[in-house]
Copies of this chain bind each other. A is one copy, B any other.
Amino acid sequence: MSEGATGLIEAGAGVQPQAGERRRGIDRVIMLFEALLKHRAPMRIGDIAKMINAPRSTTYEIVNSLLEAEMLENVGSEGYVYFGRAMHLFGWAYSHHNAHYRRILETLDRMAAETGETVQLCGLRGNKYVVLDCRDSPGPFRISSDVGVEVPIPWTASGRLLVGHMHETELKDFIPAADYELPDGRVIAPDEFFADVDLARRQGFSETSALADRFTWCMAAPIRNSHGAINTTLCFVLPVDTPEPRRNQLLELLRERARALSLAGS
């Protein structure tokens, strides 16, 4: 247990400043992109070098190659770089290459329009939960900037569904111990979490209230791929004080749409 699982993510920024290790250009590139994603804002080359723990000269060379390929882009007056136009095209290609994903995005649009609530598409990335796309409620000010930000699985309703295929022993290895601690300091008992996962699997949806955030009620329903596995979830993010009848109505809609998007019958 403990945190053996994090060992997989050796590219994690910052840690292990062990010097003198030569690495491949490809690996540097991957680390660079993940660092940029984590930072979520343009960075200067020197800072990138520090963040991915690479020599400055190497970083310059890599960044220049990527700039030329438009995978990175100069932003602002001097020295800052961020993702470039090519990335946008690659990402667009990813999200439209199959009819399935396109249908999911259309559903997202429709649900947001019909209900006026915040709708999200969620998935896993390594051993963390991420929002893959979202449509924000026009009402409350809730900025849609958390797409791609990694969040501990136990903090989320979707997370409980997305790990539904794992046994308890696997889960213990998979989820870092630190991830059971909520942002406000409370700690979720792992056994309680495992029970939640089990419940979510049996009832085919998951709800959390005031978990990662004291003011939100989250509900998630699974989208299954052609093998019946859960790749992504559909998810409503509601104000906690949403009246129960409306919650039930929305949950019904959510489950129906998620079922319609799933590829395999039971």
Q: Which of A46-97 contact B (CB under 8 A)?
A: 62, 65-66, 69-71, 73, 75, 82-97
Q: Which residues of B contact A86 (CB under 8 A)?
A: 33-34, 37, 125
Interface centre among A82, A87, A94 (most CB of B within 10 A): A94
Please tell me if the beta carbons of A37 and B90 are within 8 angstroms of each other in the complex. yes
Q: Which residues of B contact A66 (CB under 8 A)?
A: 26, 30
Residue of B nearest to A133 (CB): B92
- What is the count of identical protomers in the complex? 2
Please tell me if A36 contacts chain B, counting CB pairs below 8 Å: yes
Q: Which residues of B contact A183 (CB under 8 A)?
A: none
Please tell me if the beta carbons of B30 and A62 are within 8 angstroms of each other in the complex. no
0/1 per residue, A109-150, Cβ < 8 Å to B? 000000000000001010000101100000000001101100
Known A-B contacts A27-B65, A30-B71, A69-B30; the reply to A90 vs B97 at CB < 8 A is: no
Please tell me if the beta carbons of A70 and B125 are within 8 angstroms of each other in the complex. yes
Please tell me if the beta carbons of A88 and B84 are within 8 angstroms of each other in the complex. no
0/1 per residue, A14-46, Cβ < 8 Å to B? 000000000011110110011011001110000
A99, B37: Cα distance in complex, Å: 17
Residue of B nearest to A90 (CB): B87
**Apart from A29-B29, A36-B93, A82-B94, what are 16 other A-B pairs with CB-CB below 8 Å?**
A26-B66, A30-B69, A33-B86, A33-B90, A34-B69, A34-B86, A42-B97, A82-B93, A83-B91, A84-B94, A85-B123, A85-B132, A86-B125, A89-B125, A89-B130, A91-B92
Q: Which A residues lie at the B interface, using CB under 8 A?
A: 11, 24-27, 29-30, 33-34, 36-37, 40-42, 62, 65-66, 69-71, 73, 75, 82-98, 123, 125, 130, 132-133, 144-145, 147-148
19 contacts between A and B (CB under 8 A): A11-B69, A24-B25, A25-B25, A25-B26, A37-B89, A40-B97, A73-B94, A75-B97, A82-B94, A82-B97, A83-B94, A83-B97, A85-B94, A87-B93, A89-B91, A89-B132, A91-B92, A91-B94, A93-B147
